[in-house]
Amino acid sequence: MYSEKVMDHFQNPRNMGEIEDASGVGTVGNAKCGDIMRIFLDIDEDGIIREARFKTFGCGAAVATSSMATELVKGKTVQEALQVTNKAVMEALDGLPPAKVHCSLLAEEAIHAALWDYAQKQGIAIQGLEKPKADIHDEDSE
Amino acid sequence: MIYLDNAATTRTAPEVVEAMIPFFTEMYGNPSAIYSLGSAGKKAINEARRTIAGAIGAKPEEIYFTAGGTEADNWAVKAAAESRSGKGKHIITTKIEHHAVLHSCAYLEKSGYEVTYLDVDGDGLVDTRALKEAVRPDTILISVMFANNEIGTIEPIREIGAIAREHGILFHTDAVQAFGQVPIDVEEMNIDMLSASAHKLNGPKGTGMLYIRSDVKIRSFVHGGAQERNRRAGTENVPGIVGFAAAVRRAQRIMEEKARKERELRDYLIGRIEREIPYCRLNGHREKRLPGNVNISFCFIEGESLLIMLDMRGVCASSGSACTSGSLDPSHVLLAIGLKHEEAHGSLRMTLSEENTKEELDQVVGHLKEIVQRLRDMSPLYEDFMKSRRDRT
Phi/psi of residue B234, nearest 5 degrees: 115, 140
Q: Nearest Cβ partner of B381 from A18, A31, A60?
A: A31
Residue B389 identity: R
Q: What is the identity of the amino acid at A4? A: E
Distance CA B196, CA B131 (A): 24
100-139 of A, contacting B, C-beta below 8 A: none
Q: How confident is the model at residue B308 (pLDDT cuts 50, 70, 90)?
A: very high
- Looking at every residue in chain B, the average pLDDT score rounds to 96
Question: What is the pLDDT confidence band of residue A136, given thresholds at 50, 70 and 90?
Answer: very low
- Out of B226, B251, B276, a domain closes at B251
Amino acid code (one letter) for A93: L
Report the relative pairing of strands B114-118 and B293-298 from DSSP bridges. Answer: unpaired
In order of their start, the domains of chain A are: 4-125 (3.90.1010.10)
- Residue A130's Cβ-side half-sphere holds a number of Cα atoms within 13 Å equal to 3
Kindly give the pairing relationship between strand B293-298 and strand B280-282: antiparallel
Cβ-contact B366, B314 below 8 angstroms: no
How confident is the model at residue A134, as a pLDDT?
59
- Evaluate whether residue B8 is within a structural domain: no
The total number of structural domains that make up chain B: 2
Candidates A69, A113, A112; CA nearest to A93 is: A69
Mean pLDDT, to the nearest integer, of B303-324? 90
Residue B365 lies in a domain: yes
Look at residue A138 and tell me whether its pLDDT is greater than 70: no
Give the residue from B251, B284, B303 where a domain finishes: B251
Beta B193-197 vs B208-212: how paired, if at all?
antiparallel
Dihedral in degrees, nearest 10, Cα atoms B56, B62, B68, B70 = -90
**A106 interaction partners in chain B (CB closer than 8 Å):** none
Long-range CB contact pairs, B120-123, < 8 A, 24+: B120/B94, B120/B95, B120/B96, B120/B153, B120/B336, B120/B337, B121/B337, B122/B337, B122/B338, B123/B153, B123/B284, B123/B285, B123/B286, B123/B288, B123/B337
pLDDT(B296) > 70? yes
User: Would you say residue B363 has pLDDT above 50?
Assistant: yes
Residue B259: per-residue pLDDT: 98
**Within this chain, do residues B188 and B118 fall inside the same structural domain, yes or no?**
yes
Q: Is A59 a catalytic residue?
A: no
Would the CB atoms of A60 and B383 count as touching at under 8 Å? Answer: no
Nearest residue of chain A to residue B382 (CA atoms): A57
**Do residue A10 and residue B305 have CB atoms under 8 angstroms apart?**
yes
CA B210, B215, B221, B227 torsion: positive or negative? positive
Q: Which of B200, B230, B251 is the last residue of a domain?
A: B251
* Buried residues in B231-251 as b, exposed as e (16+ CB within 10 A): bbeeebbbbbbbbbbbbbbbb
Q: Say if residue B263 is in the same domain as residue B191.
A: no
- pLDDT band for position B328 (50/70/90)? low
Task: Say if B49 falls within a structural domain.
Answer: yes
B346 pLDDT exceeds 80?
yes
Q: Which of B304, B369, B284, B276 has the alpha carbon at shortest distance from B7?
A: B284
Nearest to B297 by CA among B151, B129, B89, B187: B151
* Statement to judge: residues B261 and B128 lie in one domain: no
A85 neighbors A77 (Cβ within 8 angstroms): no
Indicate whether B7 belongs to any domain: no
Report yes or no: B143 and B97 within 8 Å, Cβ to Cβ: yes
CA–CA min distance B330, chain A (Å): 8
Give the CATH number, domain containing residue B57.
Answer: 3.40.640.10
Pairs of residues, one from chain A and one from chain B, whose beta carbons lie less than 8 Å apart: 67
φ, ψ (nearest 5 deg) of residue B185: -135, 110
pLDDT of B167-203, one tens digit each? 999 999 999 999 999 999 999 999 999 999 999 999 9
Query: In this predicted model, what pLDDT tens digit does every residue of B6-52 receive, in sequence order?
Result: 999 999 999 999 999 999 999 999 999 999 999 999 999 999 999 99
Q: Which residues in chain A touch residue B321, judged by CB atoms under 8 angstroms apart?
A: 34, 59
Please indicate, yes or no, whether residues B202 and B183 belong to a single structural domain of this protein: yes
pTM of the complete model? 0.94
Domain limits for position B47: 13-251
CA distance B284 to chain A (A): 21
Q: Residues A3-35: pLDDT tens digits?
A: 999 999 999 999 999 999 999 999 999 877 789
Are residues B239 and B280 part of one domain?
A: no
Confidence label for B325 from pLDDT (cuts 50, 70 and 90): low
Phi-psi label, residue A120: left if phi above 0, alpha if psi -120 to 50, beta otherwise: alpha
B78 lies in the same domain as B217: yes
Strand order from edge to edge, sheet including A24-30? A24-30, A35-43, A49-57
User: Does residue B261 sit in the same domain as residue B377?
Assistant: yes
Are residues B319 and B216 part of one domain? no
Taking alpha carbons only, the member of B316, B350, B368 closest to residue B152 is: B350
The pLDDT value recorded for residue A32 is 76
